[in-house]
Structure 1
Amino acid sequence: MPGRDDDQLVGTFPYIPKQERAQKKREALLESGRFLFLKNGYEQTTAKDIASHAGVATGTFYRYFNDKRQLLLSIFGDQLEKLLPPVPDWFKKNPELFLASLLDKHYKRLNEIGIDRVIPELLPKDPELSEVISEARRNLHARIRSGLVLAQEKGLTWKDLDLDTVTWAIILIIEHGRKKVDSSEEPLDLLNMAKVICRLVFSPDVLTNFPQEAYEEE
C-alpha cells in the first residue's frame, strides 16, 4: 500500500460506505486530510499522517481511499464549482452592488472550504487535474463572456470592448483578490473591487444611471 500517493489525482471516486460508523470514519479522514494539506502542504502530508490525525489506523485509511490523491479528489468532489469566481449579472438594477454581494459570498465560501490554497502546489505535477480545472475555467469564461455579449448588444458596454480580454481580466481580478489581503494585510474592499470590474465593462454614462441604494436579494 505505501507508494500509492504517487498516483495521479484524477480518477474514479472511492466507494462511500453506507453504515453510519464507517461514514464518520471516512468524514474524519477527509477533514484531517483537508486540515493537514492546508497546514503542511500536500507533498509533506502522508496517508499515515492523515490516519493518525483522524485517530484511526493507517490500514483504515486504505479501506476508504487508495491514496492521498484520491482523498483530495473526494474533498474536491462537488466543491470545484464553488471555488470558481462568481458570474456577474450586468442587468441588475445596480451591477456594482450585486457583484459586491456575490464577491462577499464567494470569499467567505473559499475561506470555509480552504482547499483552493493547495491547488497551485498540485497543478505542475498533475496534468490531468490541471486540465479539469482549465476546462472549468473555460466554461466560466464562456458564461461571463455570454453575459457581456448581451450587455454589448444592448449598448451598455464600451463600444470597442474586447470581450475575451475583459472576461479574463474579470476572472483574474477575482481569483487574485485574496493576495491583496496576504500582501497588504488590509481587508478587501469588495465594493471598490466590484466598481473596478464594472468600469471595465460600462461606459461612464451607463454607470451614472445605477441606483445607489444598498443591494437587496431579489
Structure 2
Amino acid sequence: MSDREDQLVGEFPLIPKQERAQLKRDLLLKSGHELFILKGYEHTTAKEIAAHAGVATGTFYRYFSDKRQLLMSLLEDRIEMFMPPEPKWGVSDPETTLAGLLESHDKRLKEMGLQRLLPELVAKDAEFAQVLASGKRKIFTRILSGIKLANDKGLTWTDLDLNTVTWSLMTLAEHTPEKMKQCGIQTDYHEVAKVICRLIFPPEVIIKLRTCGTADEEENDI
C-alpha cells in the first residue's frame, strides 16, 4: 500500500480476491466516476452509486467505507495527472515541445473528467487539498531546478526572479484548459507555449535553440 493510499484511501472493508467480487467493485468505481462527473461529489450518495451500478446499497459498503473512499480510489496514483506538465528546455524547439505537452495534458484531463471536482474537493477535504498542494510543490521544485540550469547556461533572462518565473509558468500551464471557456475561442497550445517560453528565454535564445538543432541538445540537456 502506497503512502498516498494510507493518507487518502485508508483500509478497505473488503479487498476482493475472486473475479466476480472484483467485477462488482469495478462496477461501483465506474458508477461513482460517472455520477461524480454528472452530479458533483456533494450531490452524489452511496445509495445512488450502488443503484446506478445495479447492486444493493449493502454491496457498496462491502467494498468501500463511504463515497469518499471510492472517490479517492479513483484518484489514487492519478494525482500527478492534475499537475501542470513539466517543460523540457534542452530541446531544439522548446515552444513546439511544450505545446505538445500542454495539449496531451489537456486531453488526459478531459478523458478522466474528474478535474471538475477539484475545486469542490479542495474546499471540503483538507487532507486531499494538502496532498494536491504537496504535489504542486514537487512539480514547482522540479521546474525551478530546470530553469536554474538554463540560467546557469546563460539561456534565460538575467533580470527576472526565477521563483516568480516558475510560478507564472505553472499558473499559465495549469489554467490552459480553461482558456477556451474564458476567452470564447479555441485554445491554441502553441500560442500558450510561446508566451511561456518568452518568460524563460529572450527571443534570440529561442532562435539560437532552433538553429542549433540536435547538436546542442545534449549540451543543453535540462
TM-score by length of structure 1 reads 0.89
Q: Secondary structure at the match of 2:208?
A: coil
Which residue in 2 is equivalent to 1:109? 108
Q: Distance in 2 between matches of 1:174 and 1:108?
A: 13
1:160 counterpart SS class: coil
Query: What's the CA shift for 1:161?
Result: 2.1
Q: Is contact 1:47-1:68 (8 Å) kept?
A: yes
Match of 1:119 in 2: 118
Partners of 1:13 and 1:70 within 8 A in 2: no
| More displaced stretch, 28-37 vs 62-71 | 28-37
Question: Deviation per CA, 1:60-105, whole angstroms, max 9, x where unpaired?
Answer: 1111100000001100011111221110011011111111111111
Match of 1:182?
A: 181
Q: Give the superposed CA RMSD.
A: 1.5
Aligned residue-pair number: 204
SS of corresponding position for 2:8? coil
Equivalent-residue separation in structure 2 for 1:28 and 1:166 (angstroms)? 44
Measured in 2, the distance between the counterparts of 1:182 and 1:25 equals 37
Distance 1:204 1:16 in 2: 56
Shift, 1:160, TM fit: 1.6
Counterparts of 2:110 and 2:199, CA distance in 1: 27
1:20 paired residue number: 19
Structure 2: 5+ residue stretches without partners: 1-6, 212-222
Rounded Cα–Cα distance in structure 2 between residues aligned with 1:187 and 1:31: 30
- Judge conservation of contact 1:103–1:190 (CA < 8 Å) in 2: yes
Structure 1 match to 2:53: 54
Tell me, yes or no, if structure 1 residue 65 matches structure 2 residue 64.
Answer: yes
Bigger share in helix: 2
Identity %: 51
> What residue number does 1:83 align with?
82
Question: What does residue range 1-20 of structure 1 map to in structure 2 within 5 Å?
Answer: 10-14=8-12, 15-20=14-19
The code of the aligned residue for 1:192 comes to E
Counterpart-to-counterpart distance in 2, 1:168 and 1:16? 41
Aligned to 2:130: 131
**Distance (whole Å) between structure 2 residues aligned to residue 106 and residue 112 of structure 1:** 10
1:100 maps to 99
Return 5+ residue gaps in structure 1 as ranges: 1-8, 213-218
TM-score, with normalisation over the residues of structure 2?
0.87
Q: Compared with structure 1, are the counterparts of its residues 13 and 112 closer, same or farther at alpha carbon in structure 2 (3 Å cutoff)?
A: farther
Q: Please state how far the C-alpha of 1:11 moved relative to its aligned partner.
A: 4.2
